[in-house]
Structure 1
Amino acid sequence: MKRKLITSFCLCGLTISLFAVPAQVSATDYDQMIQHKNNEINQLRSQRQAVQQRISHLNQEIGSINQEAQALLQAQDNLYAVIDQLEEDIEQLQTRIDKRAANIEEQARETQVNGKSDQLMHVVLEADSISDFVGRLHAMTTIIRANNQMITQQKTDQEALASKRVESQEKMQDLHDTQSRLEAQKGELESKQADLNVEVSTLAYQESSKEDEKQQLKAEKDAYEAEQARIREEAARAAAMQAQIEAERAAQEAIVVAVPDNEAEAEANTAEDATETVSDVPAATPEAEQPLTPVDTPAVTVPVEEAPSTPSTPSIPTPAPVEQTPVPAPKPTPAPAPASNGSAIVAEAYNHIGKPYVWGGKGPDVFDCSGFTRYVYLQVTGRDIGGWTVPQESAGTVIAVSEAQAGDLLFWGSAGSTHHVAIALGGGQYIHAPRPGKTISVGSNSSWAPSFAVRVN
């Protein structure tokens, strides 16, 4: 009974010690992990200010790019106005020059056919009087002066025509340079906006992830603390049981103290009875004593546990060598075949005839040149060929303009700095978003020839 009580007591103490120590350590670990997540979240919030500053800086850059783009667009509009005026002046000059040339040619022909070179001599000789002579001479002088002025004006107009054509070409080059800068600005704007989106998305994702991890740790801590509360309740019940066992043990010890006195008295009485009994028994003779026969004790055999046999390791078959198939040498890339979906691209492009040009427009209601080509290809092929002309140059294989077929891309300007793009229709025609103030329309190579073409792969 006593041994049972002691064993119970030890078991209770061991149970309490096993429950109590891990609870304290684990709770501390959870607190440390949660504090670590709080520190990471605080660091991210501190970094948010730096990110917000970068975002503000990017917004300023984007605003600056937009302002520059608007200035370039205004300059482009001014150049278009100057070029249009120059073209009108050139047309008027050409008309006047052509008319004068016709008059001069007609006078020269009449002079040659009718012999009017001696007309001044006839006027002088056929004059009726001095006053008639003066009048005729004045008339002839006026005609000659008018012819001379016409010839002089013809020469002046021809020089002005040549000058305006040179100026128009220079303005057109300025326009192309402006359009190239606009396309470059568009690419830079898209790049900055992408950087901005990455900054914002990365920050939001990091903060969300850390918050989720923190909440997960809190949930785990709450669950663990609930479990530890349950364990503590069990420990309290075990402690109460231990107290009860201690009380029972004290009662048993009191009983054990009283038992030895009764046992001593009983042993004394037993000793007296034994003495009396011995005195009544006669002494035994030596002859009666018999030697003790030893009793054979059977040998106890202890079973020896055999060591478990080690299972034999199965042999792994050696794989047979794999015969390598020789890789054929790459064949030279043939010239690209015409786009199989060229007719679908052209059909989609025609769906937007008449829609206005707006710089930066990506559809579906307004477009600029590269936004139009990008939208058409995205709708038909699902492929994004790029948001401005330069990346669209790399969307396929460069070919000559004469090889362009329906669905190919046509570019104006040098490779790497193109300023306009259109979709080829075949037969020397293309469809494009021309410029501000115009709508999507069909153009021809004869009126404005592209520089090179690209067949989209």
Structure 2
Amino acid sequence: MRKKIVAALIAGILVVTSAVPAYATPSNQEVNKARDQYAELGKKIAETQNKVDELNVKIEPLAQKVENNKTEISNTKKEMDNTQKEIEQTKEKMSKQEEVLGGRLRELYKTGGQTSYLSLIFSADSLSDFIGKLDSANRLVDLDKGVVDELINNQNSLNEKMTSLQDKTKKLEELNAETQQELSKFEELKKEQEKYVEDAKKAQKEFDEKYLSQVEKEIISGQIATINNSNSSLDSLKSAVSQLVNLKNNQLKSPTVISEAEAAISKGKDAISRKEAEARAAAANNHANRGGSVTNSGSSNNGGSSSNNKPSNNGGGQVSSASAQAILNEAYNHLGKPYVWGATGPNSFDCSGFTSYVYSKVTGRYIGRTTYDQIGAGRAVSRSELQPGDLVFPHAGHVGIYVGNGQIIHAPRTGDVVKVSPIWSFYAARRIL
């Protein structure tokens, strides 16, 4: 069943991938579908990995049980070897003792017992001495027989122990065979599950390379272009890095694009450090030059120098650009926050609540609470005239903020979050700044 699910997901991915040209600008629906497909694969991978982990939980005690049984079997066999040695030693003792006893019995048999008794009579000093010697002789025979009987008992006991150990070993081996069989079954299941994980990850990677990464590369292309542009201002670089960090943490899913974003962030930070160092050096140099100018001015009136020290006024373009950058920076700070109908921030938003909050916080201007209010704010611009910071209305009931490269940042719908998406349709746009 799980294999069929993975196969179905892969098939679904191929359908989505083949339906979109490699370099086409994807629609918002395609972006959402791509992310959903990718997330579904991730979910299946996680579920299957959980199954693998559950199997590991079952496998570990079984494997430990097999190892414990092997150790016990080994110890039992060692005990059997030692017991067998004891049996051999006992047999050897019995053989020697039986020879001694047999020799004495044969001697008594040959003499009929008379010689021994006569020798006892004539060697005795008295009747009591004779009785004592006779008793000692009988005891000696009884002792020899007792030793043999004890050895026989030991032999029987060792034989019983050996039989018991053999039975124990047999049972352990049978138990180990059963445990090993169960362990093998779980190992096979684990291999199967791991194959599913591998297939799903392969499909996810293929999907990422063929589609999702292209979708998400569009989202970060503007920021990367800013970072790669050696003429970008310090403020532009800081904004690009800040926006990339927010996108990486709250929206991007493609490992490929996340890696590119991280590389761009690192490059951007290096560029910022260089720009700041250059600015400090320039400021120090200007300060030194100004000091020299004051010293050398003396009685002359250097009006031209005074004029050159004033900041140039390039019109409203730079101010507008800086304001737009501030708008985008604030908007990107809210990536990943949930859409809630009627919410105006800062923890959740609806579409017009989001745009109203951002503009109010950055500029202090109230552009209206609803989409219908905001569509009359500022001045109208066409799609071809769009600039970052403009309000974009895909239809009369929805609004977002243009971020460049054909994309807006917006709070889409219930169940979704603030994110960057392509402009899937165009109804109107307004320039507030």
TM range (shorter): 0.3 to 0.5
TM-score between the two structures when normalised by the length of structure 1:
0.37
Higher helix residue share? 2
The structure number with the bigger radius of gyration is 1
